[in-house]
Amino acid sequence: MSLVNFSGQNVVEFTITGFDHLPHHKLMGTVILLAYCLALLCSGTNIFIITTDGRLHRPMYLLICNLALVDIMFSTSASTTMISALLVGDKTISYHSCLSRVYIYHLGDITECLALSLMAVDRTVAISEPLRYATILTNRRVFILIVVSWLIGIGCMGKVVSTADQLPYCQPVIKYVFCDYPAVIRAACVDPEPYFLVPNLSKGAKEESSEEDTASCSSNMSSMSQSSSCSSSSSDDDEDDDKMRRKGKGKGKLRLTKNKMKKVKKHHRADVRKRGQNVVEFTITGFDHLPHHKLMGTVILLAYCLALLCSGTNIFIISTDRRLHRPMYLLICNLALVDIMFSTSASTTMISALLAGDKTISFYSRLSHVYIFHLGDITECLALSLMALDRTVAISEPYATPTSRPTDEFSY
């Protein structure tokens, strides 16, 4: 597709290109479709049972119902686009439909975090104040908190989507698998960095700009010379290739060509590894264009300390009180541990950059942070899935286990 300049008003549709380089589209689309249907079935079952059974009209189950509703909205905004692109082959999506999916997707992102926070508060009160739980958290108060969380998400996302809607677009192409804010911003004719509040990593051992330019040019020339030397070193193969071509043996030609390509790739990988070893540290530059660094760092520090305090309190109480050594509380303890790991991997870097002014981070430290962050991302999804399974069993089969007592606020 040719790169034609468009204004935001002239773009009537986007093309999803994130799957173009991947094989087995039908298989991948089928897996996503099955996962989406399973999510709808589980969340819908939870909502139906909780709303129809009057015995479950209690704070904990209202919060579970809210989380199920968020999960349906969250998964629908992304899964339908991917299923359409993979199974139906329809990779186009209208401009306003794309923006609406951006809004719904990130609204689900925010409200899910707030819903999990409310559930953490609910369990903290249930564990620390079991006798006063019914008076502290009533259905009315929980409903008000849920409405407030939705209003916060709606207000924040309105600002985000209006920002994306005002940008000019160079090409109607989304280089991702569905519409989200980063993908839409990168399709615009602007520098994307000022529109992101998440720190970007800029490769930068502390060198002068001229040295960096020289190093970049040298690395590119080195890569080209490696390929050239590889081609020169395979002159014997070229002669044999000519002989095979003159004799009309296509299989020999193909084999020799593959051998040359393997050598080129081998030299290229070695060159990349060699150049990668020269980077000893990265520089965080994502906050450079933002004001009030100290204030932002203080807010992040307070939020991080609050997360550590709440998660640590849950883990301590559950591990020391034998009455809480039951499946639901073990899953809560696991989620608290994941939250500590998840928040630590990102918060410490941002706090260091904003409050201490230390924007550099070593190469291996950065890789370990990436590993821990995405490990927390995956394990959090799995932990929430286990908690959803636990609640589904507790709701649908409350008397299947001897420890299930639906009338007790402190237990199942």
Asked whether 359 and 283 are in contact (CB, 8 A), the reply is: yes
CATH of domain 199-205+280-412: 1.20.1070.10
Q: Is the confidence at residue 321, as pLDDT, over 60? A: yes
Quickly tell me which residue has 């002239």 as its tokens.
10
- pLDDT tens-place string over residues 58-86: 888 899 899 899 989 988 988 888 888 88
Sign of CA dihedral 209, 214, 219, 224: positive
pLDDT at 33: 92
For residues 173-193, average pLDDT:
82
Q: What is the largest CA-CA distance in the chain?
A: 92
- pLDDT tens-place string over residues 296-320: 888 889 888 888 888 888 888 888 8
- % of the chain residues with pLDDT over 70: 74
Choose which CATH entry (1.25.40.20, 1.10.760.10, 1.10.3720.10, 1.20.1070.10) describes domain 1-196.
1.20.1070.10
150 pLDDT band, cuts 50/70/90, is very high
- Domain limits of the chain? 1-196, 199-205+280-412, 207-278
pLDDT at 290: 72
pLDDT at 4: 42
Q: Do domains 1-196 and 199-205+280-412 have the same CATH topology?
A: yes
Task: Give 291's contacts (C-beta < 8 A, 6+ positions apart).
Answer: none
For residues 259-286, average pLDDT:
63
pLDDT at 168: 85
Which residues sit opposite 203 in a β-bridge?
A: 282
For residues 175-200, average pLDDT:
75
For residues 115-142, average pLDDT:
86
Q: Report the C-alpha gap between 250 and 23 in whole angstroms.
A: 28
pLDDT at 411: 43
pLDDT: which is higher, 10 or 183: 183
For residues 97-119, average pLDDT:
88
